[in-house]
Structure 1
Amino acid sequence: MQIYLSFLAAALYISSIVLPASRLSMINVVSALAWLTHGAALWLTVFPEYAIRVGFAVMLSAALWVSVFVCWLENRNAALDGLRLLLMPNAALMAVLPGFFPGSLIALAGKTAMFPWHVVIAMLAYSTLTIAAFHAVVMTVQDKHLHQLRASQKTLWLNTLIDRLPALLTMEKILFRFVALGFVLLTLTVLSGVIFSEQVLGVAFKWDHKTLLSLLSWLLFAILLTGRYWRGWRGKTVLSFTLSGFITLLLAYVGSRFVLEVLLHRSLT
């Protein structure tokens, strides 16, 4: 059932970007239907009966699902149509990805009530910081493009897309909303993993690569927020720390699961 919902969500996401820009109300309706269908597919995938599914594809799909929702919320305060045109094709791809890489099932029997909450918070943290990283990439492209416009006029479609984005200062403010929220969720994830490791994960706490990379990612985002509020960091420094923190977090979980599930064909939690 979920595979059909996933492909339906992907088709609706694509439809939302090929509709004429003048049909804004229809675009909003189709986007909402796509998001709801994607959410239903994710629910059936992640929460089968008496179990929870984890994997790099599920995490990426959830990240884009949250991204679409946040983009819709922010679009009420700033014109993010250009960002939507970049986001929807990726959301369509990630909606169907778990169908090809289903990941691993973890039985909830014998697990404490804290376990699913730890997984959900971790997924939300990763999803929010994925939005921040995507946003930082768009800002990098936007900044380079605006500087290059003085020398020559580039492709028309890119000019149009950049023109539909908010100003860089507005984009930066939105970026820090994402980073601050993601940092709070990541802090809760790290604390639950450290303090309640044995109760939540069923194993004693250990210093493996996932733990070290997660802590390093947390540290990078902590330095970024501190530099922002105490030193007024802006521009390339902000983008560099955002992308570095996200890549570190990506390697901590998604990268390792990709190697296990796709390259080594192993199903480990």
Structure 2
Amino acid sequence: MHPLLPSLIAAALYATATAYQAFCLIGRKAPQMRILLPLGMLALIAHISGLLMQMITPSGLVLDFFDAASLIAAAVIALTLLAGTRIPVTNLLLLLLPLGCLTVLLAQFAPAGTVQGINEQPGILMHILLSVLAYGMLTIAMFQSLLLLLQDHQLKHKHPSGLIKNFPPLQTMESLLFGFLWAGWLLLSLSLISGWLFLDDLFAQHLVHKTLLACVAWVIFAVLLWGRHQRGWRGHKAIRWTLAGFCLLMLAYFGSKLVREFILHI
């Protein structure tokens, strides 16, 4: 089967789930999980199926810029759907499902960059998996921080929208944010350790910028978590640190891939 078909199915299902959630938001009612979660799961299965068909080639694992974005989006949605069965995070799907729709289409139709097949040794694959999960979890934390910022702003100005009225209490939203940050930081730590163990040279010319920026992002998240534990940091300070760490992390990965694949062509 050509990867285009499952990718188009995934995009259509993501769009349908987004429209359903938006319709519920306009009607000021919570979406029914028995409708939203199956739509999201079917879209995710089609998304991953098409992506694997495109990435796994005879020359190895091909992970270009848009494939990587699509893979991380799939990981983010999978983690959110899984978490949504236990904790109140389904409002995040209103932001994440359109992201899944966009990235799955870009992976199919955007021009591919110059990228070589990846050596499929178990250690390298484990490093890639840990990196994707770390980026995914910290992406969820970033979106959670944006929703927390919106919720805080609307509550202070006393005009909560329909979306905000469906949110958990502010304290719960903040606790969820730091839960995602702890999980993402631990995964990022394991990713950096696995890179040091299994990559030939973590500070080689084509990796040095990625490594340094990822390490700086790791430090920022570590300081934020320390500040939360020792100083009780919360609110806008926590949100600013979260966004700063996320921007550095995305610049580390996607910035370096963008330059290498589309500017330097290496």
> Could you tell me the TM-score, scaled by structure 2's length?
0.85
Q: Please state whether the residue corresponding to 2:156 is helix, strand or coil.
A: helix
SS at match of 2:132: helix
Kindly indicate whether residue 224 of structure 2 is the aligned counterpart of residue 215 of structure 1: no
Deviation at 1:24, TM superposition (A): 4.5
Matched, 1:28 2:37: yes
Deviation at 1:246, TM superposition (A): 0.7
What does residue 164 of structure 1 align with?
Answer: 166
Q: Is the CA contact (8 Å cut-off) linking 1:54 and 1:104 kept in structure 2?
A: no
Contact map agreement 2:220 2:245 (CA 8 A) in 1: yes
**CA distance 1:231–1:92, shift in 2 (3 Å):** same
Structure 2: any 5+ residue segments left out of the alignment? 25-30
Question: Is 1:9–1:35's contact at 8 Å kept on the other side of the alignment?
Answer: yes
> 2:76 matched to 1:74?
no
Change (3 A) 1:114 1:238: same
Structure 1: unaligned runs, 5 residues or longer: none
1:215-254 correspondence to structure 2 within 5 Å: 215-254=215-254
Name the structure 2 match of 1:177: 179
1:94 aligned counterpart, secondary structure = helix
Give the distance between the partners of 1:104 and 1:169, measured in 2 at CA: 46
Q: 1:214 to 1:7 in 2, by over 3 A?
A: same
Query: Structure 1 residues 13 and 116 mapped into 2: Cα distance closer, same or farther (>3 Å)?
Result: same
When the two structures are superposed, what TM-score results if normalisation uses the length of structure 1? 0.84
* Structure 2 CA distance for partners of 1:133 and 1:204, relative to 1, 3 Å: closer
Equivalent residue for 1:18?
A: 19
Structure 1 residue 14 displacement after superposition: 1.0
Counterpart pick for 2:58 among 19, 34, 49:
49
SS in 2 for 1:240: helix
| 1:54 alignment partner, SS class | coil
Question: Are 1:52 and 1:108, in contact at CA under 8 Å, matched by a contact in 2?
Answer: yes
Q: How far has the Cα of 1:34 moved from its partner?
A: 0.6
Task: Tell me if the contact between 2:70 and 2:103 (Cα under 8 Å) persists in the aligned partners.
Answer: yes
Moved more, 221-230 or 48-57: 48-57
Asked if the contact 1:62–1:123 (Cα under 8 Å) also holds between the matched residues in 2, the reply is yes
Q: Percent identity?
A: 31
Query: Where does residue 85 of structure 1 map in the other structure?
Result: 94
SS at match of 1:165: coil
CA deviations over 1:124-177 (Å, ceiling 9, x no partner): 11111111111111211221122222xxx4xxxx71111112222111111122
Task: Give me the whole-angstrom Cα distance separating, in 2, the residues matched to 1:49 and 1:182.
Answer: 33
CA distance in 2, matches of 1:204, 1:15: 42
Deviations 1:75-113 (A, max 9, x none): 33344443322221122111212121444553356x643
Q: Is the CA contact (8 Å cut-off) linking 2:127 and 2:194 kept in structure 1?
A: yes
Judging changes above 3 Å, is the alpha-carbon distance between structure 1 residues 6 and 229 closer, same or farther for their aligned structure 2 residues? same
Q: Secondary structure at the match of 2:172?
A: helix
* Distance in 2 between residues matched to 1:192 and 1:74, nearest whole Å: 26
SS at match of 2:57: coil
Counterpart selection for 1:140 from 149, 173, 188: 149
CA contact (8 A) 1:51 1:105 kept: no
Q: How many residues align?
A: 254
